[in-house]
């Protein structure tokens, strides 16, 4: 993204940044280099050799004994150091999340400060894993940890540089939509209003059967047609290719769904079970093709990554098949922002501590448009599924506490309460069995400013997805980084995004990991592997042996 001096008078639909004196943070030098014969730096790329060490386990059928065998696999990684000009297109740009993330990018770009009842506040990226957290790089001469910002591990796009656009079924400009959302402080909104008023979403698609009937009043900005058709796919492709990417001279675009939760789509043999069947079903206007799947298909055909931030099953088998055939990244589902993130962390902690959870009761009430949409049963069911499965892998991992087929009771309730607006109230009770038949009850009351937690996740998803488009790998059997063996991209289903998502999408046939610590460690250690560094280790033998 480059500054646009004409932004003050531009009539474009897109977020044009007007601060002509701005210097991109992405132009700063790299914070560290790796001193290793296994790492080579070139002007446009970093090449590294990495040994992946793990342990394979088999079971002796006669004795029932496990046999653990350490294994090693050699990989080469190649990282493109050239930072591209990137745009993000949001489906539901005029909603709470879309207006909040756009306002946040503008505020950070301009370094805004505004008054609140608690005193002045300045723009920041708190809540973003990429921009707000650090990782251990190593230890210094005194054996103390050296920590660096996560966004400095690889040459990542800075969010201040993102160009923003998108679609919405409402024709409000983003200044009006920001007022409707009622998320931000009035003193901040006043500083953003002029720029936000110039931003108007493109018309979106609206299939009434997939979202709550109470959303019909917002649907005044839609493409003709109330069910799937190839004309909708073609129009969205044009929007991505011509009206956004080319018009703003971008190198790459990421499309992200942050619109209303849809009902679950039925998986129908011969309709949405393969890529070819899905495309034919769209051509025939089949009623079981969701709007989010249309956006996913259009993005995939445009070689543009697509991320689903809502809980519906956008990625039916045919959509996953299509992404794999075209080698395009997809990721989902449902932003993991407040209550579910707490649940992932607490359940992981309790089970790892040997405490047996026997029930989890989660109650929510919220008053934003997401809550209004979820007040209808079909849409709520999508959210209930994404919230209910987040403990499964942690329970299955502990066969001491839970016998085969045993599982904690787990219920989720969501109610629409307009009075609380975007400040979602989440009440959770964790009931556990402890030593000698005793019990422990943990109750948490969590007030989550919903869009202010979700918006940094949108930023993380875009930045990490884009970074993954510049990382390639190959199997290695030699020490020659100049080998002519071709490199490959990661699997089209980006499971590395799991930390930000309630119901992580994984490649077909692979396990789902919901444990928050494992998700974060996987992301960080993949990034470390790309520059030839071993996984983070807390062995600290230099402290413990001498």
Tokens matching residue 433: 């069995």
334 is catalytic: yes
What would the two tokens of residue 543 be?
């402290």
Using only C-alpha atoms, the chain has a radius of gyration, in whole angstroms, of 24
| Alpha carbon distance 182, 191 (integer Å) | 15
Q: Which of 76, 321, 333, 334 is catalytic?
A: 334
Please identify which residue in the block is written with the tokens 């055909």.
Answer: 301
Cα–Cα distances in Å, from 459 out to 109, 160, 334, 346, 379? 14, 10, 14, 25, 25
415 is catalytic: no
3-state SS class at 519: helix
Catalytic residue among 424, 428, 450, 460: 424
Residue in 383, 387, 428, 450 annotated catalytic: 383
Which helix (H) or strand (E) segment is 392 a member of? helix 392-396
Nearest CA-CA partner of 206 in 232, 231, 230: 232
Return the structure tokens found at 515.
Answer: 């444990």
The residue to which tokens 């009035």 are assigned: 186
417 to each of 372, 425, 447, how far by Cα in Å? 8, 10, 14
443-465 exposure pattern, b = at least 16 Cβ within 10 A, e = fewer: eeeeebbbbbbbbbbbbbbbbbb
Helices assigned H by DSSP within 239-366: 275-283, 291-301, 317-326, 339-352
Q: Which residues contact 89 (CB under 8 A, 6 or more apart)?
A: 164, 165, 166, 167, 239, 240, 244, 253, 254, 255, 256
CA 425 to chain centre: 23
* 246-251 contact pairs (CB < 8 A, 24+): 247/12, 247/14, 248/1, 248/14, 248/85, 248/87, 248/163, 248/165, 249/2, 249/85, 250/1, 250/84, 250/85, 250/86, 250/87, 250/163, 251/84, 251/85, 251/86
Q: Return the SS3 of 399.
A: coil
- Rounded CA gap, 195 and 173, in Å? 10
Cα–Cα dist 289/229, whole Å = 9
Is 49 an active-site residue? no
Residue (of 95, 504, 508) closest to 308 by Cα position: 504
End-to-end Cα spacing for the chain:
52
Q: Which pair of tokens denotes residue 343?
A: 């649940």
Q: How far apart are CA 5 and CA 17, in angstroms?
A: 8
Three-state DSSP string of 190-238:
HHHHHHHHCCCCEEECCCCCCCCHHHHHHCCCECCCCCCCHHHHHHHHH
Residues carrying an active site annotation: 334, 383, 424, 502
């Amino acid at each position: 993204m480059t500054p646009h001096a004409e932004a003050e008078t531009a009539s474009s639909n897109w977020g044009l940044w007007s601060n002509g004196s701005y210097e991109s943070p992405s132009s700063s030098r790299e914070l560290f280099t790796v001193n290793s014969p296994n790492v080579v730096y070139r002007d446009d790329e970093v090449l590294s050799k990495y040994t992946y060490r793990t342990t394979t386990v088999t079971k002796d059928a006669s004795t029932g004994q496990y046999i653990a065998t350490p294994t090693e696999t050699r990989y080469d990684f190649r990282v493109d150091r050239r930072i591209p000009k990137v745009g993000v297109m949001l489906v539901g740009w005029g909603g709470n999340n879309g207006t909040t993330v756009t306002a946040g990018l503008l505020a950070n770009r301009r370094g805004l400060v505004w008054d609140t009842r608690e005193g002045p506040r300045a723009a920041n990226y708190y809540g973003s894993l990429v921009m707000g957290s650090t990782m251990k790089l190593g230890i210094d001469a005194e054996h103390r940890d050296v920590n660096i910002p996560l966004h400095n591990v690889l040459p990542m796009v800075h969010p201040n540089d993102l160009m923003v656009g998108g679609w919405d079924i409402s024709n409000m400009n983003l200044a009006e939509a920001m007022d409707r959302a009622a998320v931000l402080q009035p003193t901040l909104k006043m500083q953003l209003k002029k720029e936000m008023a110039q931003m108007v979403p493109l018309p979106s698609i609206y299939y009434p059967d997939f979202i709550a009937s109470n959303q019909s009043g917002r649907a005044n900005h839609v493409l003709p047609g109330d069910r799937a058709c190839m004309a909708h796919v073609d129009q969205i492709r044009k929007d991505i290719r011509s009206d956004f990417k080319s018009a703003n001279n971008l190198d790459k675009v990421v499309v992200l769904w942050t619109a209303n939760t849809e009902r679950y789509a039925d998986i129908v043999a011969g309709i949405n079970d393969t890529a070819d069947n899905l495309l034919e079903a769209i051509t025939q206007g089949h009623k079981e093709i969701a709007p989010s799947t249309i956006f996913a298909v259009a993005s995939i055909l445009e070689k543009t990554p697509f991320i689903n931030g809502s809980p519906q099953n956008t990625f039916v088998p045919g959509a996953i098949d299509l992404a794999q055939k075209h080698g395009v990244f997809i990721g989902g589902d449902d932003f993991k922002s407040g209550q579910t993130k707490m649940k992932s962390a607490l359940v992981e902690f309790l089970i790892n501590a040997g405490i047996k959870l026997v029930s989890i009761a989660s109650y929510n009430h919220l008053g934003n448009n997401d809550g209004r949409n979820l007040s209808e049963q079909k849409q709520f069911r999508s959210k209930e599924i994404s919230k209910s499965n987040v403990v499964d892998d942690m329970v299955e991992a502990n066969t001491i506490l839970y016998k085969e087929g045993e599982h904690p009771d787990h219920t989720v309730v969501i109610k629409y309460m307009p009075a609380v607006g975007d400040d979602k109230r989440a009440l959770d009770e964790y009931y556990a069995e402890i030593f000698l038949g005793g019990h422990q009850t943990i109750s948490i009351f969590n007030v989550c400013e919903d869009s202010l937690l979700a918006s940094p996740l949108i930023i993380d998803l875009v930045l990490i997805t884009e970074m993954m488009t510049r990382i390639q790998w190959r199997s290695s059997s030699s020490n020659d980084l100049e080998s002519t063996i071709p490199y490959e991209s990661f699997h089209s289903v980006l499971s590395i995004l799991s930390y930000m998502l309630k119901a992580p999408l994984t490649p077909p046939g692979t396990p789902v990991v919901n444990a928050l610590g494992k998700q974060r460690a996987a992301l960080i250690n993949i990034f470390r592997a790309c520059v030839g560094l071993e996984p983070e280790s807390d062995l600290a033998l230099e402290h413990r042996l001498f």
